[in-house]
Amino acid sequence: MTLRNGEKKKGPLVMIHRREFLQFAMAEAAAPVGTEAVGAATAIKGLSLQESIEMLRKLGFRSIEVHTMGPVYARPNAFPGFEFGLVSENEKQQTRESLRTFRHVTTHLPYDKLHFFAADPIVAEKSIRILERALSATSFLGAEIAVIHLTTPVEQPYDNVVRCFRRWGDMAGKGRFRLAIETGYPDSVRNFVKLIHDIDHEQVGCTIDVGHQSRYAELTARVKPEERSTPAGIKAYNDITHEIIDQLGRKIFHFHVHDIDPVTWKEHKPIGTGFVDYPRLIAKLNRLGYRGVLILEILTADMKNALADNRRYLERVIRSL
């Protein structure tokens, strides 16, 4: 067997880190998506991080995603976070311990008001420092995947973007996790797929967010705004997600799942209120041999009941296929 770092296995492996075990399983197992893959983000407004973790545990989730931005304490109308610079040593240990009962742990890296590839080097350097601190937090928590979301235009040469992601991939490898770039930017399927392939790093792949394809050039070319809620418009949207899957295959490390309003195409709605075709999606992932997680990212007034309902729905779909 060849290990992740390219070395050959030289005898019995006495101890194996949880993340290494999961990655070997992802590469070698051929079982369909399991119900333990259904998880949720700790981004629950008004709760502390510990309260969010405890809620998800009591709701029966086996997978969880921690936001590595913002303080751990509760704030009105704000998400809790695990930002290393704002977390005490006691809170660090408490958070890591509270995650041990989950089978899969992932993180979402900071993105709000950050500009990793700004033309201004001071802005870019400050943003990158915050990002790389969150990479350290990911390793500390024992997470398998760190999700990075590009929300601002790239103002630097493309080659520099590729070099940065390769460096972050090296950091992820040393931290024993993988880095997943979220769909949505660059602004087309073609360019997003090209970026992943050009980075060409074992530890770097993608997160498919089911709601981030609305501005992709391939979709806007097919669907006019007034056609969004038509059967053809809805099918075209789902088709675009499948085209990304077809082109990236095993470079798909992770999913963000929710639903999309059929009229406005606004995302992060509870599943069942929109048009994402989950039976079709999960059947495709089974054929691909996908071994990652499906992290719920929903926003609604009644998070507890919506999360419970959405978990049960996805688990029913998984069991039916």
pLDDT value of residue 284 = 96
Domain boundaries, the chain: 30-320
pLDDT value of residue 226 = 94
**What's the rounded Cα separation, in Å, for the pair 137 and 96?**
10
Q: Kindly report the backbone phi and psi dihedral angles of residue 171, in degrees, each rounded to the nearest multiple of 5, phi listed first.
A: -65, -40
Kindly state the DSSP code that residue 108 receives in the 8-state scheme: E
pLDDT value of residue 124 = 96
Query: Which value, in Å, is the radius of gyration of the alpha carbons in the chain?
Result: 19
Q: Which of 251, 278, 234 is nearest to 38 (CA)?
A: 278
pLDDT value of residue 152 = 81
pLDDT value of residue 153 = 85
Strand partners, 65: 41, 106
- Long-range contacts at 150-154 (CB < 8 A, ≥ 24 apart): 150/111, 150/116, 150/117, 150/181, 150/182, 150/184, 150/185, 151/111, 151/112, 151/114, 151/184, 151/185, 152/114, 152/115, 152/116, 152/117, 152/118, 153/117, 154/117, 154/185, 154/186
Which residues in 17-143 belong to E strands, given as ranges? 38-41, 63-67, 104-108
pLDDT value of residue 5 = 41
**What's the rounded Cα separation, in Å, for the pair 250 and 205?**
8
Contact 279, 320 (CB under 8 A): yes
pLDDT value of residue 31 = 63
For the beta carbon of residue 248, count every other beta carbon within 10 angstroms.
20
**What's the rounded Cα separation, in Å, for the pair 22 and 36?**
13
Average pLDDT per run of 10 along the chain, which is 321 residues long? 39 38 43 91 97 98 97 95 94 97 97 94 96 98 96 91 98 98 94 97 98 94 95 97 96 98 95 97 95 96 97 96 89
Q: Which of 318, 300, 308 is nearest to 259 (CA)?
A: 300
pLDDT value of residue 301 = 94
CATH code that applies to domain 30-320: 3.20.20.150
Question: Global pTM?
Answer: 0.89
Give the CA diameter of the chain. Answer: 62
